[in-house]
Structure 1
Amino acid sequence: MQDGQLRRGLKTELELRFQVHKSTITRVFDDLKKQMSEGNVIDVKNKKWGYVDENQWNIQMNFSNQCLFGDPTFVNMQETIHINEKWFWLNPKTRRFYLLSKEENPYMCQQSIRFKIKAMFMAVVGKPLYDANKNLLHDGKYGIFPFVFKKRALKLSKNRVAGTMETKAIESVTKEVTRKMLMEQVIPAIKSKWHPSLPKNVFIQWDNARQHQISTDAEFQEGCTSYGFNIQMVFQPAQFPDLNVLDLGLFTSIQSIQYQSFTENLDHLVEKVNEAYAVFDPKVNRNTWITLQKCMTEIMIKNGGNNYPPPHMGKNRLENQGIMPEQIEVSRDIIHQAVEHLNTLFRQVNQADDEDTQMQIDAD
């Protein structure tokens, strides 16, 4: 049971398993929720006076155990937002063309690979939000922002006159640049596009790169807590790019769309990247968040390792059958295995080995 609701299809499974009517399952489930809300001990005995059928008692007790003590699921992650940076190039290193017999090969001259035009973008993505009828309420896209600045041209060239405002890419993204991007672009975009039905406790996840060790002073805290929001920055584990949906597949999808165009300058590149982000399919975004949960399960199976093949579960087939899970179940055996492995790696703070005690040296 997750957030007071049974997972999709569980009532039908219990109806076939225990050979009872669906109304019986609904009645027992409503009784369970009432007792849990009141803080009482779970009691699903038949309330009728007289003889209580032993089979009916076993059925209801097994149903309560299935609801309360079944395999746990991941949280819905609806309040989690993933952000990350990526370099987008003006043109790919290689490009394939299909030409007619009389067409000439496309040609683009460039002095050196060092002069290839590129720009870094910070993408902000959340999980798509659907209602009970599977209607899309929010696509989970909060924006993609380039690290660029405007500079006036000092000299005359064949492309523009002197004094023209040009777009330049920020080549070195430092802590100060990252903090400015969060304060002026990312956090305001989240606040303006946040769906009103969701709580305002937002978790922004990114990797723990050096430029992400920003200063969280009073000004930054004010920006994260204004208008009733409580925005917190959390780091993902190191060496695990699969724990960020942007690295898991969204960046690849956006870049494949952007490479379908032929950009000529940096302004054109920014325009095409924004267009690729805008046409990005929310269905692919939702599937990536499901893949993220499967990756977490594989990491627990590997005891924290990343040596696992990409998990596949046939999401298109499950969606066509109407049984696509939004939250993946995890076997309790896998969780117990992961907990036991962690217990072998750590020890209590106040627990000291005999060897450590013997090795202590008196400073006097």
Structure 2
Amino acid sequence: MEPVIPDLNEPLPIYTDEAVNGETQSSNNGRRNFLNDDMRRSIYSMLLERTSPGKLKNGVAKSVAADSGVPLRVVQRIWTSGKHGGGIHGVANKKTGNCGRKRIQIDPQRIRDVPLQDRTTLRDLARALHVDPTTLCNRLKSGEIVRQTNDIKFSLTEENKKARLRFCISMLGRDNRQDDPMFSGLYNMVYIDEKWFYMTKKNQNYYLAQGEDKPLRTVKNKNFIEKVMFLAAIARPRFDEEGNETFSGKIGIFPFTYTEPARRSSVNRPAGTMITKPMTSVTKETSRSYLVNKVLPAIKQKWPTEDFGHPIFIQQDNARTHIDPNDEEFCRVAKEDGFDIRLMCQPPNSPDLNVLDLGFFAALQSKHHKESPKSVEQLVSAVVKAYEEYPTDNSNRVFLTQQSCMREIIRVKGSQKYDIPHMGKLMLERNGELPSRLKCDLQIVQEAEDYLN
């Protein structure tokens, strides 16, 4: 008798389980999936119905295997597990949690004990914990380890914290001492601040096609990129009952520049052409001049007529070049034309209490870089365009963010150790539920007042 020679081109038979309860128990690469507990209990119940308790009759296991679409040995194991394991509750799959590679356990306390300077990269942390970096990468994906971008903050003295706390509490309305107080709408506030806007950034991301040449950006000195300082003034926008804008809140943005004739001829222009140059320094006299000659006239021109005669507060930071709130020239011009405009200073080292530093300037900086200015005139035009095109809805949300920051400052008693809370302003705005003022818990306010006293 000649031996049977197998056909090498014919694939080997691979067992696959049948569909169970609508879920396909198919195999991958010839490996059978384990039956779920419901299917195992169902098979055991079928065995009990077709035989007498205690002993499996001949042919019953084979018939159940055929009806269930599972191998005979699997049915026999299920019967043995139920017989010696406590009945129908003893046939559950014991493989769960006991198979595969064992998960490496990392105690969170071990991570906390590692110095912060040794936790700046996953490799450094893995080396300190004596584990593989891949293990930490998996923990990062699962959320057991959190990546945190840490921003440096201003150092605050105890008096600075109290000043921040007093400022935030002063923005609360206390009509009823029994209810949670609400922040004022800040509709009578005008925020001003200075900001340097650069011609370009040192690093810029671009998306290129395959094989496309990298763009070449050049400056004379990377450490001294041409820049212009701007003075921005903004108030809270206003809307009517239908949500239509009645006041944009944009008082103006003013560049610190001057013009003079070109001293020499160049390939760009002949001598004597008027060119715009940025101011290299801003003095107290310059700040006074811009406030008196630019900011105050813009406020008087654009301020809503329904608030005529009510006090208007201009909030500035504590820079040395800023004028005193009781400056004679400013107070004289501020009282003209029937207006009552007053100058005030925000607490020291508190950029989070100025809407310009809180989010407005970052948006303008991101937007003006898309214009790719090549000259001072183009840079000024790009910044002014970004200011004018900034959506008033976004500006209104920044004012709400400032109120949430003041609420957190009261909670942490003047400290800067807090995260800006997310309240889903965009969703609330779409649903017509965006508040104009936020509440502050009465107990938190009382604890803050006790701390001050």
Indicate whether the TM-score tops 0.5.
yes
| Conservation of the 8 A alpha-carbon contact between 2:239 and 2:245 | yes
1:228 corresponds to: 338
2:322 corresponds to: 212
Which residue identity does 2:232 align to in structure 1?
A
CA RMSD of aligned residues (A): 1.7
- 1:203 paired with 2:313, answer yes
Give 3-state SS (helix, strand or coil) of 1:259's partner: helix
From 297, 315, 338, the equivalent of 2:425 is: 315
- 1:143 paired with 2:281, answer no
2:408 corresponds to: 298
1:338 corresponds to: 448
Query: Could you tell me how far 1:243 is from its partner in structure 2?
Result: 0.3
* Cα distance per residue 1:310-351 (max 9 Å; x no partner): 2211111222232211100111101101100000xxxxxxxx
Which residue identity does 1:187 align to in structure 2?
L
Query: Taking CA–CA contacts closer than 8 Å with sequence separation of 6 or more, which of the two structures ends up with the larger relative contact order?
Result: 1
| Conservation of the 8 A alpha-carbon contact between 1:85 and 1:122 | yes
Write the distance in 2 (CA, Å) between the matches of 1:254 and 1:197.
30
Larger Rg: 2
Which residue identity does 2:359 align to in structure 1?
G
| Conservation of the 8 A alpha-carbon contact between 1:123 and 1:143 | yes
- 1:248 paired with 2:358, answer yes
How do 1:121-132 residues align onto structure 2 when only pairs under 5 Å count? 121-132=230-241
1:113 corresponds to: 222
Instruction: State the number of aligned residues.
Output: 278
Write the distance in 2 (CA, Å) between the matches of 1:307 and 1:289.
20
* Cα distance per residue 1:185-239 (max 9 Å; x no partner): 1111111111111244110001111111348544322210111111111111111
| Conservation of the 8 A alpha-carbon contact between 1:179 and 1:214 | no
- 1:83 paired with 2:192, answer yes
From 190, 194, 197, the equivalent of 2:299 is: 190
Query: Could you tell me how far 1:145 is from its partner in structure 2?
Result: 0.5
In structure 2, the gaps of 5 or more residues are: 1-174
Query: Could you tell me how far 1:71 is from its partner in structure 2?
Result: 1.3
| Conservation of the 8 A alpha-carbon contact between 1:245 and 1:292 | yes
| Conservation of the 8 A alpha-carbon contact between 2:235 and 2:250 | yes
Query: Could you tell me how far 1:101 is from its partner in structure 2?
Result: 3.5
TM-score by length of 2: 0.59
1:134 corresponds to: 243
Q: Give structure 1 regions of 4+ aligned residues with deviation exceeding 4 angstroms.
A: 214-217
- 1:169 paired with 2:308, answer no
- 1:92 paired with 2:206, answer no
Write the distance in 2 (CA, Å) between the matches of 1:211 and 1:115.
23
Give 3-state SS (helix, strand or coil) of 1:251's partner: helix
* Cα distance per residue 1:256-306 (max 9 Å; x no partner): 111111111000000000110111010110000001011001001111111
Write the distance in 2 (CA, Å) between the matches of 1:115 and 1:159.
22
- Identical positions, percent: 38
Query: Could you tell me how far 1:240 is from its partner in structure 2?
Result: 1.3
In structure 1, the gaps of 5 or more residues are: 1-65, 344-364
